[in-house]
Amino acid sequence: MSCKLIAILLCIHLASGQTVPSFVPNSLKRFSNGTNFTSLLLVDRALYVGARDLLLKLDSADIESNKGLYTSLSLATNSDQKEQCISTYYDEKLCSNFIKFVLHRPSFKDLYVCGSYSFQPRLFQLSYDLNLIKEDDGYGYCSLNPMDSSTAIWIDNGNPMNIPSLYSASYLDASTKTQPVEPVIYRPELRRADKSFHYLRSPKFDSDWLSQPHFLKSFDVDDYVLFFFREKSVEQVAEAQDQNYARVVRVCKSDAGALKLGNLWSSMRKTRLTCVYNNTYLNRLEDIVRVSADLFVGLFSLRLPGQSSVSFLCEFSKESLLNGLNSASNSFKEIMAGTQYWSKVSDNRIPKNFPNQCNYNSQLLKDDVINFVKTHSLIGDHIEGPIIHFVNKHAISVAHERLDLKLVNQAVFPLETLPGTDITVNVFYFGTDDGKIIKMSSYDSQKVIAQWNLETNGIKQLKLKKDKSLFAISDDSVYQVELNLQCSKYYTCGLCMSDPHCGWNIRTNLCESIKSNSNLVNLNTNLCSRLERHENIKSVEVESGSALLLECNVKDQYLFGLIEWKKDQISITTKNQNVFFTWNKDLIILNGNASYNGVYNCYADKHELLSSYNVVYKSDATKSSLEISSSGQKCITAESYIKQYNNWCDEYNRYHRALNDWEEMKDKLFESRQKLMSLNVTNVYIRFKTN
Ligand SMILES: *[C@@H]1O[C@H](CO)[C@@H](O)[C@H](O)[C@H]1NC(C)=O
Ligand SMILES: *[C@@H]1O[C@H](CO)[C@@H](O)[C@H](O)[C@H]1NC(C)=O
Ligand SMILES: *[C@@H]1O[C@H](CO)[C@@H](O)[C@H](O)[C@H]1NC(C)=O
Ligand SMILES: *[C@@H]1O[C@H](CO)[C@@H](O)[C@H](O)[C@H]1NC(C)=O
Ligand SMILES: *[C@@H]1O[C@H](CO)[C@@H](O)[C@H](O)[C@H]1NC(C)=O
């Protein structure tokens, strides 16, 4: 009866797998004394992390260490505030102090921290050792409701009279049952001695300016502060589409407001960002990073019809962003009178001397300019960025690392790049909504180098300490991945060479960190195929009609999806019902004969040979008795096998048991490869007795 199971067993082990090296990082460090971690900030060796009711200073060399640098500061709200919060907002879970940002102010040598503080946002000015210097009201600086987004940036230079200031985007109030919520882009009052500039903000409750935005990041870019977010599109209302658009807003740092504008910005403009995939505009901006002074990279996600989401990285040059936001001529938009349609404002309606850049004195603006500014913020159709990477997952955060490498050892193979060639590689890390980190690089923009599984929920933020560590946070943990300790996880030359942190040691055939050994070949996947070792081909003689197991020697589970078997250089598929793959990518041939003679190679990652067999079937004297009755069946299934060779059932049971044993070893395999060796399945032939 167990014989019947064989067919089923073989079927469920058919190839189905990942196509990505996927593993838990080596020496992964985790800190989880706290919840709702946010806002990673690196200042020298310290890693500051915001959490619920808590601010932490961790040692970036070892976040698990609670000695030395480690400090924590409780920033909990008192019980009165908490009770008041609960009675007003009902949801106790939100009535705590969720830290929304932790900023460094180098010129003040301090930290500037804002927390939701039971719906009464509060600002804390702290020393590097987390001593409280001052605290203040935080309305407008960060959102009241911890579920509402916010972003902020400290700007030292370029403001009126060069007075340093915070710029923020947040929600000014919180959702109660009756009140709509009010988003704002804000700069508080600037004061120096007897001079002051009143606060500036976006218009109140005006969806043309901000429409249910989800704020992401803010940047200091030349004369401007840029805010990136996504929001409900106003332009689409007419077509009754409920769509979110990615946006960038600029304000001028030098904006000093104007009497006739009240407290409104004179310089606020917004436009749409997108990139195009398969004739579809991508709209859901998830995160954005500045890769260099002149380049930004946006992370977009797209939900596919089958409910799963995929992600894209798209490039936006500073030039394209500023051009898109500044060219007022013929590109402002407004609602056509009497309709709901947005159209371009014709040039002749734009006031003369309308400022395109920040080089104007807002307090001297003419009335016609002021009136125009009051009613126009949307500009241009959209700014489109090219796609540079694609990830088959829903990524929600991204980090960037620029590596300047010297290809030292290409001289070993004289045809390669000249030794000493300097190259720059951009490496991107994607944090996914299901707790994974994906690594890609500009060396091969199509290839996923590695997928690290952190076994947590969404990776909300990533931060890099260049060339050393990657920090990640989810709601329940802070993680530290040592970038130079991952190399030994790449078991093949090709995977190793595609990671810019690693190189292949051609003497030992091992993958090592380029930091640890300068004698490695790196970023040269072409070389790998030339390192194939054909002398390892094994000769296999086998009787016709018997079953044969050929081992691939896959060293780690993540390689399973990258395995391909070839016979005489032609890919083997399981279309032939006599051919099966085991769960660990070994090849089984049932009932073979001379037509199966040939060289069988098992490759990882397309061109890396893991094992090679020269198989020869001997014609057998008892062959005729082995032949399947000509019942019209072309392919033998396990069941017909059993029917015809009843007396082989014992062998099948043994085979079945062996498969079960392998199955059990599957999990243990990765704990200890030793145990696999002790299973002693190397070059096992499963022969079925003929008597
Ligand atoms: C805080 O973390 C918990 C999980 O630990 C999560 O369910 C909750 O949504 C988080 N709250 C906020 C405001 O992020
Ligand atoms: C985390 O909490 C545990 C148990 O409360 C404690 O033993 C440990 O020292 C804490 N670690 C740090 C870094 O505070
Ligand atoms: C492109 O879109 C079309 C229609 O929406 C779809 O059938 C096709 O599979 C898409 N192609 C890719 C590569 O996503
Ligand atoms: C060998 O096996 C194949 C099917 O697997 C069959 O088509 C072929 O006739 C066999 N050849 C000989 C010589 O038995
Ligand atoms: C593995 O099998 C071979 C041949 O059957 C035998 O010589 C060897 O001792 C076995 N090794 C172990 C560890 O059982």
CA distance 161 to 197: 10
pLDDT the model gives residue 329: 65
pTM score, two decimals? 0.77
- Tally of CB atoms within 10 A around 340: 12
Which of 544, 546, 593 has most ligand 4 atoms within 8 Å of CB, for mutation?
Answer: 593
pLDDT the model gives residue 406: 72
Complete domains list, the chain, with CATH: 400-528 (no CATH), 538-677 (2.60.40.10)
pLDDT the model gives residue 149: 94
Residue linked to tokens 């803010």: 218
Q: Is the pLDDT of residue 690 over 60?
A: no
Contact residues for 258 (Cβ-Cβ < 8 A; gap 6+): 266, 362, 363, 365, 370
Q: Is the pLDDT of residue 640 over 80?
A: no
Q: Cα of 279 to ligand 3 centre, how many Å?
A: 9
Closest-lying ligand 4 atom to the alpha carbon of residue 576 = 5
pLDDT the model gives residue 271: 95
**Average of per-residue pLDDT values in the chain:** 82
- Predicted confidence band at 336 (pLDDT cuts at 50, 70, 90)? confident
Q: Provide the H-helix boundaries in 17-129.
A: 79-89
Q: Cα of 506 to ligand 3 centre, how many Å?
A: 43
Q: Is the CB of 680 under 6 A from ligand 5?
A: yes
Query: Highest mean pLDDT: which of 351-360, 477-486, 645-654?
Result: 477-486
Nearest ligand by distance to the CA of 116: 1
CA distances from 499 to 21, 492, 502 (A): 11, 11, 5
- Condensed to tens digits (0 to 9), the pLDDT of residues 527-550 reads 676 655 544 678 888 888 887 888
CA distance 439 to 450: 5
Residue linked to tokens 């606060």: 199
Closest-lying ligand 1 atom to the alpha carbon of residue 476 = 5
Closest-lying ligand 2 atom to the alpha carbon of residue 66 = 13
- Condensed to tens digits (0 to 9), the pLDDT of residues 411-422 reads 333 334 455 667
Q: Is the CB of 33 under 6 A from ligand 2?
A: yes
Q: Which residues pair with 110 in a beta bridge?
A: 105
Which of 36, 54, 143, 149 has most ligand 1 atoms within 8 Å of CB, for mutation?
Answer: 36
CA-nearest residue for atom 9, ligand 5, is 680
Q: Which residues pair with 383 in a beta bridge?
A: 273
Q: Which two tokens stand for residue 391?
A: 């990830």
Selected residue with higher pLDDT from 152 and 691: 152
Q: Which two tokens stand for residue 121?
A: 């946002």
Q: Is the CB of 241 under 6 A from ligand 2?
A: no
Which of 33, 55, 71, 477 has most ligand 2 atoms within 8 Å of CB, for mutation?
Answer: 33
Q: Is the CB of 678 under 6 A from ligand 5?
A: yes
Lowest model confidence (mean pLDDT) among 284-293, 376-385, 432-441: 376-385
Closest-lying ligand 1 atom to the alpha carbon of residue 94 = 13
Closest-lying ligand 4 atom to the alpha carbon of residue 594 = 13
Q: Cα of 654 to ligand 4 centre, how many Å?
A: 26
3-class DSSP assignment, residue 318: helix
Q: Cα of 680 to ligand 5 centre, how many Å?
A: 6
Q: Is the pLDDT of residue 40 over 50?
A: yes
Give the binding-site residues of ligand 4, using a 6 Å CB cut-off: 578, 593-595
- Predicted confidence band at 657 (pLDDT cuts at 50, 70, 90)? low
Q: Is the CB of 629 under 6 A from ligand 5?
A: no
Selected residue with higher pLDDT from 654 and 171: 171
- Predicted confidence band at 497 (pLDDT cuts at 50, 70, 90)? confident
Closest-lying ligand 1 atom to the alpha carbon of residue 147 = 13
pLDDT the model gives residue 88: 82
Q: Cα of 658 to ligand 2 centre, how many Å?
A: 46
Q: Provide the H-helix boundaries in 596-636.
A: 623-626
Q: Which helix (H) or strand (E) holds 188?
A: none
CA distance 126 to 72: 12
CB 227 within 8 A of CB 220: no
- Condensed to tens digits (0 to 9), the pLDDT of residues 43-88 reads 999 999 999 999 999 999 999 998 889 999 999 998 999 999 998 8
